[in-house]
């Protein structure tokens, strides 16, 4: 466990973030393996089906992840203030509340699955494969809920290593089952989906069992198994607002995916590969932003606002250095990276994918800053600001994607809308930071979530 209210700021954040980064690398690896196995052994159309379906899954998962992240903010603040009774009470209520939301989402999504696919302009020739993939993944949502809430709880108390260990195990299982189901048993897209759900189930059950058995601090007693109005209100407020922010972000991406689908399977496949590359490339700064959120929340609970300001300065330097290195590597090896996803004979897909990379990758530092701001405002409890930044970023992206793609730029107009949206949100984020953090009195930001 890491107490981020003391010690060297950058070292504490990086020490906490590193297991999260490694864990998500493994998570992205088995998502990447899905795409590689599908593209190499099933075909470009199958890659397009999985890629566009994945956007829908990411949107649904973002609600569950957002709910869990919101609860993590409250838990981090209680941990920082050493209010362990409230910590355990909040944990109990969170499992019930988010569990109910997850079941509702699963049932609703399965019932309207045909409408969802048609709503986002899924080409008719790809609907059957996409539907088959989606049904299986949706049935595994309960495992996504178990894993994300358990890991949010562990990270709130400064433990980011155990979630890494759970994901390493799940990633290995997923990779092995992908190859087995698709190559040996010829199960196609169905095999990829089944492998993913099994891997999620393993990581989910291991995380919840570890949390319950190994951590005496989290053992419940009768005092915790109660519904206190104020605690329930905090759980609902923080979790739903964070989920709203996450879902807005991914809903915008989903709308863009619908636009991409109108350009046909070649553009869809290139976009699917490009989005996968992006998610891996800037994933470390996304995890850094999540770690920064825990840092901010713990220090807010400990009433150390000056330490938060120093954390912002340190984080900016770290993000600039990391994103410069990442952008350079992605741009230099863009063709080799695309060849991981599709056969070398798919020249059109490769060409479009490289074009996407050349436009977006150079601006990764912008999304790095944006993740930092998300973490900052979530940690401070200023969730509405995170939502505003998300609306600006995604709203601009969606609007420009439709406008620019209708010009002579075509699909490349969609690529350019991405960094423009990031940049505008960053400008607003810096302005709000100056207004609400530097110039405001410390006392406005030391109230622990009630």
pLDDT of residue 446: 43
* Contacts for 381 with CB less than 8 Å, ≥ 6 apart: 73, 77, 238, 297, 300, 445, 447, 449
Amino acid 450: pLDDT: 42
Say how far apart CA 437 and CA 289 lie, in whole Å.
17
Neighbours of 263 (CB within 10 A): 17
Distance between CA atoms of residues 333 and 330, nearest Å: 5
Cα(423)–Cα(280) distance, integer angstroms:
20
Domain boundaries, the chain: 9-445
- What residues have CB less than 8 Å from 387, skipping those under 6 apart? 241, 244, 245, 248
The token pair at 6 is: 């003391």
pLDDT at 110: 93
- Mean pLDDT per block of 10 residues along the chain (450 residues) reads 76 83 71 73 75 77 86 82 79 88 93 85 78 91 90 82 84 87 86 89 89 69 67 84 77 76 81 80 85 85 80 91 92 86 79 87 93 89 85 87 87 88 93 73 46
Give residue 365's pLDDT.
Answer: 94
Task: Say if residues 425 and 377 touch (Cβ distance below 8 Å).
Answer: no
Report DSSP letters for 320-340, one per residue.
HHHHHHHHHHHHHTHHHHHTT
Residue 400, CA atoms < 13 Å, CB-side half-sphere = 18
Tell me what pLDDT residue 215 has.
66
CA distance 50 to 211: 33
Q: How far is CA 143 from CA 117, 205, 263, in A?
A: 23, 8, 34
pLDDT of residue 445: 45
Say how far apart CA 21 and CA 17 lie, in whole Å: 6
Assess contact for 283 and 322: CB atoms under 8 A: no
Find out whether 418 and 397 touch, Cβ atoms under 8 Å.
yes
pLDDT of residue 221: 63
| DSSP 8-state symbol, 448 | P
- Radius of gyration from C-alpha coordinates of the chain: 21
Q: Work out the number of other CB atoms within 10 angstroms of the CB of residue 423.
A: 17
Q: What is the DSSP letter of 95?
A: H
pLDDT at residue 440 in the model: 54
């Amino acid at each position: 466990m890491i107490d981020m209210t003391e010690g060297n700021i950058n070292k504490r954040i990086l020490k906490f973030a590193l297991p999260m980064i490694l864990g998500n690398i493994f998570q992205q690896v088995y998502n990447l393996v899905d795409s590689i196995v599908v593209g190499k052994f099933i075909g470009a159309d199958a890659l397009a089906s999985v890629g566009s379906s994945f956007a829908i899954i990411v949107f649904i998962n973002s609600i569950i992840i957002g709910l869990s992240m919101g609860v993590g903010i409250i838990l981090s603040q209680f941990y920082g203030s050493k209010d362990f009774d409230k910590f355990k009470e909040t944990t109990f209520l969170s499992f019930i509340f988010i569990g109910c939301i997850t079941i509702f989402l699963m049932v609703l999504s399965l019932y309207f699955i045909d409408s969802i696919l048609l709503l986002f302009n899924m080409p008719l020739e790809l609907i059957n494969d996409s539907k088959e993939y989606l049904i299986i993944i949706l049935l595994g949502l309960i495992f996504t809920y178990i894993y994300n809430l358990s890991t949010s709880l562990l990270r709130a108390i400064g433990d980011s290593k155990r979630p890494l260990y759970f994901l390493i195990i799940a990633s290995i299982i997923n990779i092995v089952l992908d190859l087995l189901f698709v190559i040996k048993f010829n199960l196609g897209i169905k095999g990829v989906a089944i492998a993913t759900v099994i891997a999620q189930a393993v990581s989910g059950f291991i995380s919840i069992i570890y949390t319950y058995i190994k951590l005496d601090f989290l053992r419940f007693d009768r005092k915790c198994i109660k519904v206190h109005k104020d605690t329930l209100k905090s759980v609902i407020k923080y979790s739903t607002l964070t989920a709203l922010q996450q879902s807005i972000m991914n809903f915008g991406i989903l709308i863009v995916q619908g636009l991409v689908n109108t350009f046909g399977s070649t553009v869809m496949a290139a976009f699917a590969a490009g989005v996968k590359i992006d998610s891996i490339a800037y994933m470390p700064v996304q995890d850094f932003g999540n770690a920064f959120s825990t840092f901010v929340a713990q220090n807010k609970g400990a009433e150390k606002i000056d330490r938060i300001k120093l954390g912002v300065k340190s984080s900016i330097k770290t993000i600039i250095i990391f994103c410069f290195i990442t952008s350079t590597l992605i741009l230099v090896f863009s063709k080799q990276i695309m060849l991981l996803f599709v056969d070398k004979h798919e020249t059109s897909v490769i060409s479009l994918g490289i074009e996407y990379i050349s436009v977006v990758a150079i601006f990764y530092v912008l999304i790095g800053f944006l993740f930092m701001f998300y973490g900052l405002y979530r940690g401070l409890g200023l969730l509405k600001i995170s939502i505003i930044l998300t609306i600006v970023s995604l709203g601009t992206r969606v609007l420009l994607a439709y406008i620019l793609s209708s010009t002579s730029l075509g699909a490349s107009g969609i690529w350019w809308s991405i960094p423009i949206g990031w940049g505008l949100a960053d400008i607003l984020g810096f302005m709000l930071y100056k207004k609400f953090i530097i110039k405001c009195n410390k006392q406005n930001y030391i109230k622990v979530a009630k």
